[in-house]
Amino acid sequence: MDERPWEALRMMYDLFCQADLVCHINNALSSYICQTGEKILKEEGSSLTEFKAHVDKICFTYFSEDPLLEKTAQKCFEGLGMSVVPTEEMLELGSSGPFPTSHWCF
């Protein structure tokens, strides 16, 4: 995966934090999760669990585990009908994946 766009996301987050404008990222994250989640729910073969793992990685890696953004992600996934309690599969992914299991966005 090309890391340049993701590093730009981290830089944007850092700048928005300095200017106390994280609420704008929060609104965009909420829209992204809700819109993409709705599409996933309509598509057969798509996985909301995989999408949540993707969002969790973004929260951990590029948004410095921001509590506001993590809470927003939690509420959005709950709104999509997903339990935010980690499944065995999620715990296994986290323990061998790019971030520790203690950093899932809950």
CB 55 within 8 A of CB 47: no
- Select 4-103's CATH number: 1.20.1310, 1.10.3470, 1.10.287, 1.20.120: 1.20.1310
Q: Where are the domains of the chain?
A: 4-103
Q: Residues near 18 by Cβ (< 8 Å), separated by ≥ 6?
A: none
Collapsed DSSP state (helix, strand, coil) of residue 3: coil
Digitized pLDDT (tens) for each residue of the chain, 106 residues in all: 456 788 999 999 999 999 999 999 999 999 999 999 999 999 988 899 999 999 999 999 999 999 999 999 999 999 999 876 655 554 555 544 443 333 333 3
At which residue do the structure tokens 């404008």 appear?
21
User: Structure pTM?
Assistant: 0.73
pLDDT of residue 86: 58
pLDDT of residue 95: 46
Which tokens is 82 given? 């997903």
Provide the 8-state DSSP code for 103.
G
Collapsed DSSP state (helix, strand, coil) of residue 47: coil
